[in-house]
């Protein structure tokens, strides 16, 4: 029996997020026979809500499948500390309850999140040194240093008795990063020589040819722009980008300027980087309360909000309602970032507000003030050459990115390719790649302090409310089945009058009374009958007069 189970053991990949989208990365790897498969989860990240999800700031992967397999879930491995890879841990760990492995910088940021969630002493946090290797069950997981836009990013070499998969994580090939470490190309080559059955690879920038610029090139440009500026300079970038924070700080120092920090997320990143020895300049940064005391030509403001986030520092500055920070005509704002798909409107609004204040704005369209942390085609080609995978599975990208990397891999001579979407279980090895099972997959919404469903949750109803409004009608029915008083109505998001000038409020009350009177007396004691009759009548009449069907609530009281 044991020999047959070993022969039946396979290594599978089941994404729960990150396939066909940017963000919410969560990739489950399973090993063993189907009846007794053990799992590890690689990354557990978030997406951020947009106008399609009113009131929802954070979106989580649905981990219900692993929740049901909790006794078989051995560990969660984090490749790096970006929110789309780590941000869901504090929300979802109570459903997973497994050890969490990550490098020192990621651990520092995660500790802060766990502390806020009241989980700091409860989560088994295992700190892995750079290049470290951990064995859990039949999984042997090695952290391999790569370069990206955050400290300590790693690819994972996941070895099992069935075979080896390299999970690239987020990476780029940068020979001159502004913070260590360098990419461990030699180790990747060694792993490739050992034999790699599958490479699960970052697809974000596969549509672009050539090589990504180095972070040191961006640093040089920032130094030149800041050196030529006459007034205040504000730089907004991703809060987690310690390399960019370092570049801005060095550029400011070289030009006799002080660095002021605004934004809680950036303060947390700086504290974590200092804790692990990655940001020597951190102790010299000034608090935002000191901003107003510094001469305009002696300050560089470093702040959050590059994606137009409503509560971030830059949004408040642009709206001129920040308690400590203002900008004047002739001051400069540098957007040292790329607009994430979906944030275009929010960022555009921010740019217009700043332009309205007479502020000079520089974006990555104007100068090399940002470089991606993801590889372009020639970098991907080199990675293939080091790892030499038998199978390529694209991840971390929208559908067009995934399909393009499959085409690119085939053109580079990769023997086999496979595409897998959320909830599909792909056998990586042994044998040919094949979808062998499916599991529930979807999204969860963080609504305030609560985790709620995305499909039938409150955001869906809010979205509908934003288009059609709501009508609530209250009526009291006596024991004889008659109205004890006139109905009352509240209308929100509905026009005041019909096209003929009749008030919608009065129209709703008239229709409600007419519909009630049309119900046979003997059936008026059934609440469902009354509710359905009035709701349908009101919606139909409003559609006739307005062209829209609002949400209608009927509140029945028995007198």
- Residues 29 and 174 occupy one common structural domain: yes
Question: What values do phi and psi take at 391, rounded to 5?
Answer: -135, 140
Would you say residue 169 lies in a domain? Answer: yes
Residue 99 is predicted with a pLDDT of: 98
Q: Are the C-beta atoms of residues 375 and 170 closer than 8 Å to each other? A: no
Q: What is the CATH number of the domain that holds 336?
A: 3.40.50.10710
In sequence order, what DSSP letters do the residues of 339-355 get, joined into one string? PPTT-HHHHHHHHHHHH
Relative to beta strand 133-136, strand 139-145 is antiparallel
- Residues 233 and 175 occupy one common structural domain: no
**In the chain, how many domains are there?**
3
The Cα angle at residue 15 between residues 9 and 20, in degrees rounded to 5: 145
Q: Are the C-beta atoms of residues 543 and 535 closer than 8 Å to each other? A: no
Of 453, 483, 506, the one marking the end of a domain is: 453
- Residues 104 and 184 occupy one common structural domain: yes
- Residues 159 and 54 occupy one common structural domain: yes
Domain that holds residue 439: 2-210+372-453
Relative to beta strand 198-202, strand 163-167 is parallel
Would you say residue 462 lies in a domain? Answer: no
Q: Estimate to the nearest angstrom the gap between the alpha carbon of 216 and the chain centroid.
A: 27
In sequence order, what DSSP letters do the residues of 47-65 get, joined into one string? EE--TTSTT--EEEE--HH
User: Per this entry, what is the length of the chain?
Assistant: 559
Q: Are the C-beta atoms of residues 317 and 326 closer than 8 Å to each other? A: yes
- Residues 98 and 199 occupy one common structural domain: yes
Residue 7 is predicted with a pLDDT of: 57
Would you say residue 464 lies in a domain? Answer: no
- Residues 157 and 112 occupy one common structural domain: yes
Q: Which of 395, 397, 434, 44 is nearest to 200 (CA)?
A: 395
Question: What values do phi and psi take at 116, rounded to 5?
Answer: -65, -30
What does the CA dihedral 69, 72, 76, 77 come to, rounded to 10 degrees? -130
Q: What is the CATH number of the domain that holds 473?
A: 3.10.20.580
Of 341, 362, 383, the one marking the end of a domain is: 362
Would you say residue 335 lies in a domain? Answer: yes
- Residues 377 and 436 occupy one common structural domain: yes
**pLDDT tens digit sequence for 495-510:** 999 988 999 999 999 9
Q: Are the C-beta atoms of residues 481 and 463 closer than 8 Å to each other? A: no
Would you say residue 367 lies in a domain? Answer: no
**pTM for the structure as a whole:** 0.89
Q: What is the CATH number of the domain that holds 193?
A: 3.60.15.10
- Residues 342 and 231 occupy one common structural domain: yes
Residue 391 is predicted with a pLDDT of: 98
Residue 1 is predicted with a pLDDT of: 31
Name the 3-class secondary structure at 80: coil
Owner of token pair 């500055």: 317
In sequence order, what DSSP letters do the residues of 464-493 get, joined into one string? HHHHH-EEEEEEEE-TTSSBSS--EEEEES
- Residues 317 and 223 occupy one common structural domain: yes
Residue 291 is predicted with a pLDDT of: 94
Would you say residue 459 lies in a domain? Answer: no
Assigned token pair, 397: 């990208």
Residue 5 is predicted with a pLDDT of: 53
Assigned token pair, 298: 């002696």
**pLDDT tens digit sequence for 4-21:** 355 579 999 999 999 999
**pLDDT tens digit sequence for 240-261:** 999 999 999 999 999 999 999 9
Owner of token pair 């502004």: 178
Q: Are the C-beta atoms of residues 272 and 112 closer than 8 Å to each other? A: yes
The Cα angle at residue 46 between residues 77 and 96, in degrees rounded to 5: 50
Distance CA 258, CA 249 (A): 8
Would you say residue 206 lies in a domain? Answer: yes
The Cα angle at residue 312 between residues 261 and 84, in degrees rounded to 5: 100
Would you say residue 461 lies in a domain? Answer: no
- Residues 105 and 67 occupy one common structural domain: yes
- Residues 380 and 261 occupy one common structural domain: no
Of 320, 335, 362, the one marking the end of a domain is: 362
**pLDDT tens digit sequence for 413-426:** 999 999 999 999 99
Split the chain (559 residues) into runs of 10 and give each run's mean pLDDT: 58 95 94 95 90 80 94 98 96 97 97 95 95 97 96 97 98 92 96 98 96 94 95 94 93 94 92 87 84 95 90 92 93 92 87 94 94 96 98 96 98 97 95 92 85 78 84 93 92 92 94 94 93 95 93 92
- Residues 130 and 143 occupy one common structural domain: yes
């Amino acid at each position: 029996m044991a020999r047959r189970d070993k022969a039946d053991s396979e290594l599978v990949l089941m994404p729960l997020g990150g396939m066909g989208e940017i963000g919410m990365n969560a990739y489950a790897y399973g090993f063993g026979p189907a009846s007794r498969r053990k799992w590890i989860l690689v990354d557990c990240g978030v997406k951020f809500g947009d106008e399609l999800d009113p009131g929802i700031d954070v979106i989580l992967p649905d981990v219900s499948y692993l929740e049901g397999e909790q006794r078989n879930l051995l560990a969660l491995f984090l490749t790096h500390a970006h929110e789309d890879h780590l941000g869901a841990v504090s929300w979802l760990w109570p459903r997973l309850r497994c050890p969490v492995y990550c490098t020192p910088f990621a651990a520092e940021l995660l500790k802060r999140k766990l502390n806020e969630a009241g989980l700091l002493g409860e989560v088994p946090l295992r700190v892995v040194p750079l290049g470290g290797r951990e064995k859990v069950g039949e999984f042997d997981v090695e952290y391999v240093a790569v370069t990206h836009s955050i400290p300590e990013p790693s690819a994972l070499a996941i070895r099992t008795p069935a075979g080896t998969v390299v999970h690239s994580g987020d990476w780029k090939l940068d020979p001159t990063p502004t913070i260590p470490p360098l990419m461990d190309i030699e180790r990747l080559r060694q792993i490739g020589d050992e034999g790699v059955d599958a490479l699960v690879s970052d697809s974000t920038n596969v549509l672009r040819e050539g090589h990504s610029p180095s972070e040191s090139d961006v640093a040089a440009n920032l130094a030149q722009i800041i050196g030529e500026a006459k007034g205040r300079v504000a730089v907004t970038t991703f809060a987690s980008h310690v390399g960019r924070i370092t570049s801005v700080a060095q550029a400011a120092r070289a030009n006799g300027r002080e660095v002021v920090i605004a934004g809680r997320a950036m303060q947390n990143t700086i504290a974590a980087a200092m804790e692990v020895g990655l940001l020597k300049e951190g102790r010299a940064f000034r608090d935002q309360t000191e901003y107003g005391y510094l001469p305009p030509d002696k300050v560089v403001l470093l702040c959050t909000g590059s994606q137009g986030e409503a509560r971030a520092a830059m949004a408040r500055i642009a709206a001129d309602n920040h308690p400590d920070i203002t900008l004047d005509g002739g001051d400069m704002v540098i957007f040292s970032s790329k607009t994430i798909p979906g944030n275009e409107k929010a960022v555009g609004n921010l740019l217009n507000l700043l332009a309205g204040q007479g502020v000079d704005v520089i974006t990555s369209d104007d100068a090399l003030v940002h470089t991606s942390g993801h590889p372009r085609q020639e970098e991907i080609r080199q990675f293939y050459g080091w790892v030499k995978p038998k199978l390529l599975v694209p991840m971390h990208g929208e559908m067009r990115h995934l399909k393009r990397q499959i085409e690119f891999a085939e053109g580079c001579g990769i023997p086999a390719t496979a595409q897998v979407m959320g909830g599909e279980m792909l056998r990586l090895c042994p044998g040919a790649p094949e979808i062998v099972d499916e599991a529930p997959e979807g999204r969860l919404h963080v609504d305030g302090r609560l985790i709620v469903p995305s499909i039938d949750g409150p955001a869906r109803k809010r979205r509908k409310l934003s288009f059609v409004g709501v009508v609530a009608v209250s009526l009291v029915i006596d024991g004889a089945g008659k109205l004890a008083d006139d109905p009352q109505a509240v209308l929100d998001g509905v026009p005041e009058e019909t096209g003929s000038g009749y008030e919608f409020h009065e129209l709703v009350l008239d229709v409600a009374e007419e519909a009630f009177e049309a119900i046979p007396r003997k059936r008026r004691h059934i609440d469902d009958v009354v509710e359905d009759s009035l709701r349908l009548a009101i919606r139909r009449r409003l559609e006739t007069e307005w062209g829209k069907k609002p949400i209608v609530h009927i509140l029945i009281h028995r007198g």
